[in-house]
Homo-oligomer: A and B are copies of this chain.
Amino acid sequence: MKSKLIWKGDLGFVAKGGSGHEVIIDAAEESGGHDQGPRPMELLLHGLAGCTAIDVVLILKKMKVELTDFSVEVEGERAEEHPRRFTRIHLKYKLKGKGLTEKNISRAINLSQEKYCSASNSFNAEITSSYEFENIEQGQ
């Protein structure tokens, strides 16, 4: 899997991988950048959240859950000393839909984290998760 990053001056870059979609990366003004795009470390969290979110959508679909709303909030704690790597990352899944149960949500999240999510398993941080959900079926 390949990616190429081209420098655009100062601390700005354009990244492009096999999908062909370009992503602008830049540092904040206070760090010498021009804030034309997200920070590199944000992209790590976005990629992690996107990877596990795709898993969870696919697994719940197989379980006949009909999602109406779904979000993942990620919080990454970083070491205080350089290199300021992620030491702990918490994923909070928020789901709304028909057919959601504690059992199928926790199973979907566990399958993602332990078996399928290539991103989660590429980090050396401790990754934890929690979830909250609202079932819109009446009487459930």
A residues with CB within 8 A of B: 1-7, 10-11, 13, 15, 17-19, 21, 23-25, 27-28, 32-33, 35, 37-51, 53-54, 57-58, 67, 69-78, 82-86, 114-125
Main secondary structure of the interface of A (DSSP, over half): mixed
What residues of B have a CB within 8 angstroms of the CB of A122 in the complex?
44, 85-86, 123-125
Q: How many Å lie between the Cα of A54 and that of B78 in the bound state?
A: 18
What residues of B have a CB within 8 angstroms of the CB of A48 in the complex?
40, 44
Residue from B67, B69, B118, B123 within 8 A of A41 (CB atoms): B118
What residues of B have a CB within 8 angstroms of the CB of A27 in the complex?
54
Within the complex, what minimum Cβ distance (angstroms) separates A60 from chain B? 11
Q: How many Å lie between the Cα of A63 and that of B85 in the bound state?
A: 25
Q: Are A7 and B82 in contact (CB under 8 A)?
A: no
